[in-house]
Amino acid sequence: MIGEETTVRSVGVELGARRYEILIGPGLVREAGRHIAPLAGGARAFIMSDETVAAHHLEPLTDSLARAGLASSAHVLAPGEASKSFGELSRALDWLLEAGANRGDVLVALGGGVIGDLAGLTAALMKRGMAFVQVPTTLLAQVDSSVGGKTAVNTRQGKNLVGAFYQPRLVLADTATLSTLAHRERAAGYAEIVKYGLIGDPEFFDWLEANGAGVMDLDAGLLARAVARSCEAKAQIVARDEREGGLRALLNLGHTFGHALEAANGYGPGLLHGEAVACGMCLAARYSVRAGLMADSEAGRAEDVLARAGLATRLPRLSGGPYDPSALLEHMQQDKKVRGNALPLILMRGIGRAFIQPEADRADLLDFLQAEAAAE
């Protein structure tokens, strides 16, 4: 036990009265009870999860809660993006209301970003806000979606259009849960880790060049370090700009291209979010090179780090394609971050030097995408 204890890392998200801790390390699900019990005034925990995650990780969680004196019940959904819906939101609220849940009880999200986003919004709405804990089980959720308090459901008009900012009281990122995650999902999460290096942390990027393979192989020490550094990077940005006034937009590096790729693919299972973002970051890097902002060799380093994790860095090789340049530009313009007529892009002056370009030239962008689609 003491051995496990020493490997747990902690990152604080500094949001004043809403400050919370992200604990990172192997075995945290089995210790969840003693971390969650102090937050539960009502001595009850409600767990939301999906079938795949629940099959592997629900029992250790409920056992641990029971050992800490917390009774729990679980609401298990079908895995996949389709569960992030109004229908599931309403069913989850019914489940809580019928069980007589109170604001002092804790709602625990055990799963990836789908469960985290849905459960977070459920917690925000339940009696105007019940205590919420994230137990992220995908690499993407551990380094990205569980940090920062964005919650949402999808509607037929688009993804994440209805939601709330609602911070959890605690995040338990058990890195051992990643051993059951599909390799492709792991690589997709790794893309978001690389993103933090590219945005503002060249030393972390150098570290990933040396240690990325170990992270992808789930080396416990390297993995915990990569997750912790990523959470720190996101927490720092969120603490300075909780509601995305400006700085937080940097977290969208690779995402304007990425969202366009996902939209062109119809958000189907053929292209994962992280795969789209990886390719999107490479596009942002090469567009930065083309604009004379970034050295070609630096863009090459970004591509190499992603390619070594098995991620596609070139448009013609990206799964779910082919991708039509005009359709991509169209989707980029429809991205919800576009205000008025301006098409903002996150570009780079080098590795770790991302910035917000308020307005990209559409004709030039189309020309660039055409060249990218035609390149080998």
Ligand X SMILES: NC(=O)c1ccc[n+]([C@@H]2O[C@H](COP(=O)([O-])OP(=O)(O)OC[C@H]3O[C@@H](n4cnc5c(N)ncnc54)[C@H](O)[C@@H]3O)[C@@H](O)[C@H]2O)c1
Contact positions toward Zn ion, by CB under 5 A? 277
183 part of the active site: no
Contact (Cβ atoms closer than 8 angstroms) between residue 271 and residue 320? yes
Q: Are 311 and 282 in contact (CB under 8 A)?
A: no
List 33, 112, 254, 325, residue binding ligand X (CB under 6 A): 112
248 is catalytic: yes
Tell me if residue 244 is catalytic: yes
Alpha helices, DSSP H only, in 241-272? 255-264
Shortest CA distance to 109 belongs to which of 163, 154, 151? 151
Q: Which is nearer to ligand X, 174 or 298 (CB)?
A: 174
Q: φ and ψ at 159, to 5 degrees? A: -85, 140
* Active-site annotation holds for 156: no
* 8 A C-beta contact, residue 230 and residue 143: yes
CB–CB of 148/110 below 8 Å?
no
Instruction: Count interface residues toward ligand X (CB under 6 A).
Output: 29
**Catalytic: which of 31, 88, 192, 275?**
192
User: In the complex with Zn ion, which residue's Cβ is closer, 108 or 277?
Assistant: 277
Give catalytic status of residue 252 as yes or no.
yes
Q: Is 273 a catalytic residue?
A: yes
* Contact call for residues 365 and 349 (beta carbons, < 8 A): no
C-beta of 92: minimal distance to ligand X in Å?
15
Q: Which is nearer to ligand X, 258 or 325 (CB)?
A: 258
CB of 292 to Zn ion, least distance (A): 27
CA-to-CA separations, 154 to 76, 128, 157, 286, in angstroms, rounded = 19, 21, 8, 31
What is the smallest separation between the CB atom of 139 and ligand X, expressed in angstroms? Answer: 8
Residue 114 binds which entry of ligand X, Zn ion, none, CB below 5-8 Å type-dependent: ligand X
Near ligand X in 135-154, by CB under 6 A: 137-138, 140-141, 144-145, 148, 150
Site for ligand X in 242-301 (CB under 6 A): 273
Single out the segment in contact with ligand X by CB under 6 A; choices: 11-19, 61-69, 121-129, 174-182: 174-182
SS3 content of the chain, % helix, strand, coil (to 5): 55, 15, 30
Token pair for 88:
């599931």
Q: Applying CB under 6 A, which part among 74-82, 196-204, 287-295, 297-305 lies near ligand X?
A: 74-82
Catalytic status, residue 150: yes
Nearer to ligand X by Cβ, of 96 and 147: the residue is 147
Distance CA 53, CA 76 (A): 9
Encode burial over 251-285: b for 16+ CB neighbours within 10 A, e otherwise.
bbbbbbbbbbbbbbbebeeebbbbbbbbbbbbbbb
User: Does the annotation count 192 as an active-site position?
Assistant: yes
Residue 114 to residue 141: CA distance in whole angstroms: 9
Choosing from 35, 234, 286, 331, the catalytic residue is 234
* Alpha helices in 126-219, H assignment, sequence order: 139-140, 183-200, 202-216
> Smallest gap, in angstroms, from Cβ of residue 231 to Zn ion?
14
Nearest approach, Cβ of residue 192 and Zn ion (Å): 5
Span near ligand X by CB under 6 A; candidates 40-48, 114-122, 217-225, 263-271: 114-122
Query: Which burial class, exposed, middle or buried, applies to 363 when counting CB atoms under 10 A from its CB (0-12, 13-18, 19+)?
Result: exposed
Q: How far apart are CA 32 and CA 286, in angstroms?
A: 44
Min dist. Cβ of residue 15 to ligand X (A): 15
Among 25, 27, 33, 113, binds ligand X (CB under 6 A): 113
Smallest distance from the beta carbon of 160 to ligand X, in angstroms?
A: 5
Task: Return the number of other C-beta atoms located less than 10 Å from residue 19's C-beta.
Answer: 12
Residue 150 binds which of Zn ion, ligand X, none (CB < 5-8 A, kind-dependent): ligand X
Interface residues toward ligand X, by CB under 6 A: 50, 52-53, 56, 79-81, 84, 111-115, 117, 137-138, 140-141, 144-145, 148, 150, 160, 177-178, 180-181, 185, 273
